[in-house]
A = this chain, B = another copy of it.
Amino acid sequence: MQNFDYFNPTRIVFGEDTIGRLSELLPSGARVLVLYGGASAEKNGTLAEVRAALAKHDFAEFGGIEPNPSYETLMRAVGQVHREQRDFLLAVGGGSVIDGTKFVAAAALFDGEPWQIMEARGENVTRALPLGSVLTLPATGSEMNNGAVITRRATHAKLPFHSQHTFPRFSILDPRKTFTLPPRQVANGVVDAFTHIIEQYLTYPAGGLAQDRFAEGLLQTLIEIGPRALAEPHDYEVRANLMWVATLALNGLIGAGVPHDWATHMIGHELTARYNIDHARTLAIVLPPMLQVRRDSKRAKLLQYAQRVWGITQGSEDERIDAAIERTRAFFESLDVKTRLQDYAINAAALDDLIAQLEAHDMTALGERQDVTLEVSRRVLEAAL
């Protein structure tokens, strides 16, 4: 096992009818800015519940944070924070809104041009406004970690940052708030959480026995409930498990003391930045060929994945690996998430552009062994066509 630091001070308030507890969770006297996305938080009643819970607090609102939240939009929120002297940020929405709120929290107190935060991946963040969240979409895990991914529309750049200062103080997870999500977003959430787990698990054996068992347990649970979450949108138990699994998939726990990959994410980000494909759908495109192309360096873990997650025990090693990768692809497709570039009208002519973007963003040595060069990424994208 590798040495590690694990620290996660986010309080999770989980279950039915928990939004009413907002008032007790906020610092007394806080000047709150509520940040949200589009019409859905309004339509499904979550915003109304939040407003009711904040009745005795000083709060204002900032709406319109888009999927793949943009620097351009978020800087307007920073302006409002400064103008109105807001001192607590409350994100109401999914990962995009929470990620965006983390950026606003850090940018509002940053000395300098805030895009520098992204360029330094957050290492230059020394303070941030406190924030909390009310989660409406289980997917990214942003509700219980300190990371965020922000896009700059002007330059097609989509970059991550982390900081010890941007953990939410609390996150409220009420599974009922997910009942009205469009099926597309639910499916995206399942794929996103699944891939988060794979990025921290499917590398090489590192002796993290509990971490492996936890990752496998989360994958098994997603395989069990993913299709049910689509078929039975009002099943509380299914949605509750999806919500908690997606949080556990990226709160630092399963990744403590083991190697990480994240090459699939980095290549996926370029697809989103260039073609505006949903984040999760880019992962579903990239992950199967990523595993195929890197099957030798990932061999031991691919065999463990085949056996423990999919129950595949028959056949040669390569047959078992092929079967596991195909089961993974079939799982994504069963959620109506397409897994080929051609499904999104992207063909071989696009690859040079994508590789150039990876190079421009310093994504030239990705993966748990830093051996995913631009040449390897090209082979992955070719296999994804």
Q: Is A316 an interface residue (CB 8 A)?
A: no
**Complex interface: stretch among A88-96, A238-246, A335-343, A347-355:** A238-246
Rounded to whole Å, the gap between the CB of A371 and the closest CB of chain B is: 24
* A12–B5 CB distance below 8 A: yes
Q: Is A237 an interface residue (CB 8 A)?
A: yes
Q: Quick one: CB contact mask for A200-225 with B, threshold 8 Å, 1 for yes? A: 00000001111011101110110011
Q: Please give, as numbers and ranges, the residues of chain B lying within 8 Å of A241 by CB-CB distance.
A: 1, 207-210
Determine how many copies of this chain the complex contains. 2
| Closest residue on chain B to residue A144 by CB atoms | B6
| Closest residue on chain B to residue A243 by CB atoms | B1
Q: Please give, as numbers and ranges, the residues of chain B lying within 8 Å of A2 by CB-CB distance.
A: 15
Contact of A210 among B5, B8, B18, B245 (CB under 8 A): B245
Q: Please give, as numbers and ranges, the residues of chain B lying within 8 Å of A245 by CB-CB distance.
A: 209-210
Contact of A14 among B6, B13, B212, B253 (CB under 8 A): B6
Given A217-B213, A240-B207, A13 and B5 contact (CB-CB distance below 8 Å):
yes
Contact of A18 among B3, B214, B253 (CB under 8 A): B3
Q: Please give, as numbers and ranges, the residues of chain B lying within 8 Å of A6 by CB-CB distance.
A: 11-12, 14
Q: Is A344 an interface residue (CB 8 A)?
A: no
* A4–B11 CB distance below 8 A: no
Distance between Cα atoms of A217 and B224 in the complex (Å): 17
* A1–B207 CB distance below 8 A: no
* B3–A14 CB distance below 8 A: yes
- How many positions in chain A have a CB within 8 Å of any CB in the partner chain? 40
Q: Please give, as numbers and ranges, the residues of chain B lying within 8 Å of A8 by CB-CB distance.
A: 8-9
Given A207-B237, A237-B207, A241-B207, A14 and B213 contact (CB-CB distance below 8 Å):
no
Rounded to whole Å, the gap between the CB of A130 and the closest CB of chain B is: 14
Distance between Cα atoms of A256 and B9 in the complex (Å): 16
Distance between Cα atoms of A208 and B175 in the complex (Å): 13
Q: Is A257 an interface residue (CB 8 A)?
A: yes
Q: Is A7 an interface residue (CB 8 A)?
A: yes
Q: Please give, as numbers and ranges, the residues of chain B lying within 8 Å of A218 by CB-CB distance.
A: 210, 213
Q: Please give, as numbers and ranges, the residues of chain B lying within 8 Å of A7 by CB-CB distance.
A: 9-12
Q: Quick one: CB contact mask for A127-142 with B, threshold 8 Å, 1 for yes? A: 0000000000000000
Distance between Cα atoms of A203 and B77 in the complex (Å): 48
Q: Is A16 an interface residue (CB 8 A)?
A: yes
Q: Please give, as numbers and ranges, the residues of chain B lying within 8 Å of A237 by CB-CB distance.
A: 1, 207
Q: Is A248 an interface residue (CB 8 A)?
A: yes
Contact of A1 among B217, B244, B253 (CB under 8 A): B244
Distance between Cα atoms of A7 and B5 in the complex (Å): 17
* A residues neighboring B (CB under 8 Å): 1-16, 18, 207-210, 212-214, 216-218, 220-221, 224-225, 237, 240-241, 244-245, 248, 253, 256-257
Q: 9 smallest A-B Cβ distances: which pairs?
A: A213-B217, A3-B15, A9-B9, A7-B11, A6-B12, A1-B240, A207-B237, A209-B221, A209-B241
Show 18 residue pairs from A and B whose CB-CB distance is below 8 angstroms, ordered by the A residue.
A1-B15, A1-B240, A1-B241, A3-B15, A4-B15, A5-B14, A7-B9, A7-B10, A8-B9, A14-B257, A15-B257, A208-B241, A209-B225, A209-B245, A213-B213, A213-B216, A240-B257, A244-B257
A-B contacts besides A4-B14, A209-B225, A214-B214, 14 pairs, CB < 8 Å: A1-B15, A1-B240, A1-B244, A3-B15, A3-B18, A4-B12, A6-B11, A12-B256, A14-B256, A207-B241, A209-B224, A210-B245, A213-B213, A213-B217
